Structure 1
Amino acid sequence: MAQSNIKVAVQKFGNFLSSMVMPNISAFIAWGLITALFIPTGFLPNESLSKMVDPMVTYLLPLLIGYTGGKLVHEQRGAVVGAIATMGVIVGADIPMFLGAMIIGPLGGWVIKKFDQMIEGKVRAGFEMLVNNFSAGILGAIIAILAFLGVGPVINTFTRLLVAGVDWLVGTGLLPLTSILIEPAKVLFLNNAINHGVLSPIGVEQVKETGQSILFLLEANPGPGIGVLLAYMFFGKGNAKKSAPGAGIIHFFGGIHEIYFPYILMRPMLILAVILGGMSGVFTLVLLGGGLFAPSSPGSIIAITAVTPHHASAYLANFAGVLVAGAVSFIVSSFILKTGKQGEEDIEAAAQKMQEMKGKKSSVSNVFAGDQGAMPDDVQKIYFACDAGMGSSAMGASLLRKKVKEAGINVAVTNTAISNLPADAQIVITQAELTPRARNKVPNAYHISVDNFLSSPEYDKLISELEFPANSSLYEIVEDAEENVPGNKDQEMAHEDDLLRAENVFLNQQFANKEEAIHFTGRALVNAGYVDESYVEAMIERENIASTYMGNDVAIPHGTEEAKKAVIKSGFTVVQVPDGVDFDGQKVRLIFGIAGKDGTHLEILSGIAVTCSDMENIEKMVEADTPQTIIDIIGKK
């Protein structure tokens, strides 16, 4: 238990550190580009433009970190006090104060937060602005002075020791050993914390002295991950083999390293492959003098190329480091996959295992049932959030945006950092381990957690919820949709007698499970000439997206949107199950198989909804001993 708590605490601390740096990565990249281009040894030397280099690294970058750190603790007031306090460590030291800003920025935010809590409800009306402005200014000034006198010199000494330690590791050839710690930590989702919370600040120090730093490539190297995914492409089985190519593209060119973590957890021995691959890559970089002039975020080959110093030897060294890491990882991974016993690897099970290893709830795509908030009635925007709002969240948002568009739903989908989630956010989607942070940020939102970015079932469940809200009755759903049915209502229902015939009403049926019941209902639609054979499987597929149980002991299984082409003509069947069949924990006694063409299924649903909204009708149909009795009950409505 204690070990689990320590793991969680370390992860939270690491995430907090990275959350201060990652939203400001674009500023680091801007500084790196200006440095690489315009300093005297740069690609386009320019004395005037190079004057921006020192002020940016000395003032801009630490201030942004301190501002963001304060904001994470106490919104805008925390951000302002954090920035003021950060000036103290900046002026109090003679090196860029990234680590100092990571300490003093959140501290400033915490101090003003405690002050606000202390005076809450005690300020006289009309004096709020005066107290707010002077309290932030006074406290910020005090913390800045203390930081100048004490924190700055301490962090200055500590940072120099860290840089000296890295130089020693490089000089003694021991830097590759860092992969023993870095690669396993990445699989526990500490990759951003390691890269941007620890390595990047020290790397910036090295860039200022030498123009590049190898530290920017210790975690960001995509080689170890792509080696594992390539091995699965050639020697894997089942879903893992099928999904590995797509995951490889996203990892290598998109820089989303998180996507290969579940593949390692399916075969834990593969951690040796990424460790050896990482060590080989670092050794190659040290040997050839590789490094970057700014952090590579995300860790894709495209981003690495963009921030590689502009000379042939640097490109050669960096590309060789990636290639060697990938090759070693591929060889070791292939050996493990070929010699070990393989089953049909399950990505979802691996994602579940990931949560268990991190001390989280062990459920795949966990939505923390009962605590995720209520689905909003009128959704305007969906937020996909992560640490920085530009990595995994950008990929997830693009996939979900495509699904929303295909479903014809008028809802905007955007990606953002958790720290930037607006207070009025309605639906928030995050990685499972980030959901608690998102919930703390916007507790009133509807929260959804995903693990598998490529094909999370939560995407389709959400689409289904947006199309047919769970808190709406069948009658309300159909009543709203009915207004949009094209054509003349009388004309569409002209062949009413053909919609439900006596031979399509089945009494006293029994089923072992809902799949068996849906197959039976679908076959009845096929035999009645309403649909093609393919429609039956489409009904099962639709049920897997979200249950078609509608309340009042009624289910209405039907095909997916894509299955419309399999519908020959409109009609429905009724299956009576007196003893009931389980639909995801709900007892169903009446099953209506629906096939609708050209909008007439809405009329069918409308009639069923009106009839089934009254439990007295339900009981009569369940107890009916002839098909005509059921037809008459429905026909009256």
Structure 2
Amino acid sequence: MKEKVQKIGRVLSAMVMPNIAVFIAWGLVTSVFIENGWFPNATLAELVDPMNQYLLPILIAYTGGYNVYGQRGATVGSIMTIGVLVGAPIPMFIGAMICGPLGAFLIKKLDEVLQGHIKEGFEMLVNNFSAGILGFILAVIGCLAINPACLALNDVLTIGVNFLVDRGLLPLLSVIVEPAKVLFLNNAINHGIFSPIGIQEVLSQGSSIFYLIESNPGPGLGILLAYCFFGKGAAKSSASGAAIIHFFGGIHEIYFPYILMNPLLIIAAIAGGATGVFVNVLFGSGLVSAASPGSIIAILTMCAPDSYFGVCVSIAAATVVAFVVAAFILKFTNSKEDLDEAQAESKQLKTATPTQEAVAVKKDLSTLRKIVFACDAGMGSSAMGATILTKKLKAAGIDVTVPHYAINDIPSDTEVVVTHQSLVGRVEDNLPNVVIFPITNFMGGTEYDDIIEKLK
């Protein structure tokens, strides 16, 4: 079930993550040039609506279609999305996330039906007209069917959001958001759910609190600082470096393994997250666009002009509350949070039955020239892990490159993959014959050393 949820989340985030630069550009235009921005300019403020209403949804649909069926999928998915956008009073991100992959899927199936039935020399004619005719039909369907359905869904979401806001219950979202983040659904939640809601709030209010519910670095920072003072062994020694990367680099995935080592710490994450949301509700603070990655630098860059104090207080409060709760849990529980102990126990369990890692030791890797480091989005934790592993391989005199990919984008000719242990099942589904080295902590030096020893 966890892997299925991760896959759904990956589909959503994979449409948005490659276009984060456009969100940032739109956010900067909004914060600088709108009427209550830093430098109001009526002419340049005209950029806001076209980027929001058309550019962003079409790029999302294009990317979603491309992920399903390459260029043809991207083209048909974008055509279908135009039908959804026409006449819509709100940004149609939900419609784009539906139409992009759906249009690509349908043209893929149509091509499969036509394959083997096209006369020689008519391939280009048939391919162009089949995509064009299907796109025409789907654009009409998008306008007459999917557009009203998305507007109805948006009304339901708006009612739900207003219910939480009016009753001061918005902090309760942390009860759902924080555990979901630890399951590596952070990108899907932030960009698949909160970003569409946030954009509508920005247009009506100038900023949105929804951009801060998932991206607030306070809960993770508090937990990592608690490990610095009350942790054990490798977990304690690596926590300070992880805190710096988390807070300034914005790679939130780096603190997830620390919670997985002691699951009770999810209480600290929820308490910190709820505190941050409560403070932002109290001060009416928010961001003008998504902060991605969730770095303090990105957050302050996207901060609304009147929200700096509230945002900073919310991050500080979330950090303090998460630290206090996490410190109590680490101090008074007997749970093993020592990375070295956990790894040793894991190895003992693995000796009982053959595993891919055992196979990896026996497999001839003398011709290996590439090790793929994979994570959910292929941008944050995998990039950092690839850098660490590359340095260790170089120091060991092993000439192997370490590119980083999203799990769904791992090349089919890959022989060896390094990924977090909670993502192993998804890698196996895509590449059942690949050798996988699972790790429990992206900062775990001993785990990388073990990989190198096996390669030797």
The answer, yes or no, to whether TM exceeds 0.5 is yes
1:546 paired residue number: 454
What are the superposed Cα offsets for residues 247-278 of structure 1, whole Å, 9 maximum, x if unpaired? 21122122222222222233222221111111
Select which of 65, 73, 81 maps to 1:78. 73
Pairs within 5 Å for 1:117-132 = 117-132=112-127
Query: Is residue 302 of structure 2 the alignment partner of residue 307 of structure 1?
Result: yes
What is the DSSP-based 3-state SS (H/G/I as helix, E as strand, rest coil) of the residue aligned with 2:307? helix
1:268 paired residue number: 263
Measure how far apart 1:215 and its partner are. Answer: 0.5
Decide whether aligned partners of structure 1 residues 42 and 443 sit closer, same or farther in structure 2, where only a CA change above 3 A counts: farther
What are the superposed Cα offsets for residues 447-486 of structure 1, whole Å, 9 maximum, x if unpaired? 55444211366644665xxxxxxxxxxxxxxxxxxxxxxx
1:50 paired residue number: 45
What is the DSSP-based 3-state SS (H/G/I as helix, E as strand, rest coil) of the residue aligned with 2:287? coil
**So what's the TM-score if we normalise by structure 2?**
0.88
Measure how far apart 1:163 and its partner are. Answer: 2.8
Q: Is 2:372–2:416's contact at 8 Å kept on the other side of the alignment?
A: yes
Decide whether aligned partners of structure 1 residues 56 and 273 sit closer, same or farther in structure 2, where only a CA change above 3 A counts: same
| In 2, Cα distance between equivalents of 1:441 and 1:336 | 38
Select which of 387, 390, 400 maps to 1:398. 387
Q: What is the identity percentage for the equivalent residue pairs of Structure 1 and Structure 2? A: 54
Q: Is 1:266–1:350's contact at 8 Å kept on the other side of the alignment?
A: no
| In 2, Cα distance between equivalents of 1:202 and 1:375 | 51
1:88 paired residue number: 83
Q: Is 2:65–2:78's contact at 8 Å kept on the other side of the alignment?
A: yes
Measure how far apart 1:221 and its partner are. Answer: 0.9
1:324 paired residue number: 317
2:281 paired residue number: 286
Decide whether aligned partners of structure 1 residues 195 and 547 sit closer, same or farther in structure 2, where only a CA change above 3 A counts: closer
Decide whether aligned partners of structure 1 residues 210 and 115 sit closer, same or farther in structure 2, where only a CA change above 3 A counts: same
Select which of 151, 156, 160 maps to 1:165. 160
| In 2, Cα distance between equivalents of 1:546 and 1:377 | 11
Query: Is residue 223 of structure 2 the alignment partner of residue 234 of structure 1?
Result: no
Select which of 19, 26, 32 maps to 1:24. 19
Q: Name the aligned partner's letter for residue 33 of structure 1.
A: L
Decide whether aligned partners of structure 1 residues 13 and 57 sit closer, same or farther in structure 2, where only a CA change above 3 A counts: same
Query: Is residue 109 of structure 2 the alignment partner of residue 114 of structure 1?
Result: yes
1:181 paired residue number: 176
1:249 paired residue number: 244
Select which of 378, 387, 391 maps to 1:389. 378
| In 2, Cα distance between equivalents of 1:419 and 1:46 | 43
What is the DSSP-based 3-state SS (H/G/I as helix, E as strand, rest coil) of the residue aligned with 1:546? helix
What are the superposed Cα offsets for residues 162-213 of structure 1, whole Å, 9 maximum, x if unpaired? 1342233222211011111111111222222211111111111111211211
Measure how far apart 1:19 and its partner are. Answer: 1.6
Which protein, 1 or 2, shows the higher relative CO under an 8 Å CA cutoff with sep ≥ 6? 2
| In 1, Cα distance between equivalents of 2:131 and 2:344 | 44
Pairs within 5 Å for 1:547-626 = none
Q: Is 1:86–1:104's contact at 8 Å kept on the other side of the alignment?
A: yes
Unaligned runs of 5+ in 1: 354-360, 464-544, 549-637
2:404 paired residue number: 415
| In 1, Cα distance between equivalents of 2:351 and 2:312 | 39
Select which of 439, 452, 455 maps to 2:441. 452
Unaligned runs of 5+ in 2: none
Q: Name the aligned partner's letter for residue 292 of structure 1.
A: L
| In 2, Cα distance between equivalents of 1:45 and 1:352 | 60
Decide whether aligned partners of structure 1 residues 351 and 419 sit closer, same or farther in structure 2, where only a CA change above 3 A counts: farther
| In 2, Cα distance between equivalents of 1:337 and 1:113 | 52
What is the DSSP-based 3-state SS (H/G/I as helix, E as strand, rest coil) of the residue aligned with 1:227? helix
Measure how far apart 1:437 and its partner are. Answer: 5.0
| In 1, Cα distance between equivalents of 2:345 and 2:79 | 43
What is the DSSP-based 3-state SS (H/G/I as helix, E as strand, rest coil) of the residue aligned with 1:384? strand
2:215 paired residue number: 220
Identify the structure with the greater strand proportion.
1
Measure how far apart 1:375 and its partner are. Answer: 7.4
Q: Name the aligned partner's letter for residue 287 of structure 2.
A: L
State which drifts further: 42-51 or 441-450. 441-450
| In 1, Cα distance between equivalents of 2:403 and 2:315 | 32
Identify the structure with the greater helix proportion.
2
What is the DSSP-based 3-state SS (H/G/I as helix, E as strand, rest coil) of the residue aligned with 1:224? helix
Q: Name the aligned partner's letter for residue 328 of structure 2.
A: F
Q: Is 2:16–2:191's contact at 8 Å kept on the other side of the alignment?
A: yes
Q: Name the aligned partner's letter for residue 182 of structure 2.
A: V
Q: Is 1:227–1:326's contact at 8 Å kept on the other side of the alignment?
A: yes
Pairs within 5 Å for 1:528-543 = none
Query: Is residue 134 of structure 2 the alignment partner of residue 139 of structure 1?
Result: yes
| In 2, Cα distance between equivalents of 1:200 and 1:19 | 14
What is the DSSP-based 3-state SS (H/G/I as helix, E as strand, rest coil) of the residue aligned with 1:132? helix
| In 2, Cα distance between equivalents of 1:63 and 1:349 | 46
Q: Is 1:352–1:362's contact at 8 Å kept on the other side of the alignment?
A: no
| In 2, Cα distance between equivalents of 1:438 and 1:445 | 8
Decide whether aligned partners of structure 1 residues 409 and 239 sit closer, same or farther in structure 2, where only a CA change above 3 A counts: closer
Q: Name the aligned partner's letter for residue 277 of structure 1.
A: G
Decide whether aligned partners of structure 1 residues 375 and 185 sit closer, same or farther in structure 2, where only a CA change above 3 A counts: farther
What is the DSSP-based 3-state SS (H/G/I as helix, E as strand, rest coil) of the residue aligned with 1:126? coil
2:31 paired residue number: 36
- Greater C-alpha radius of gyration: 1
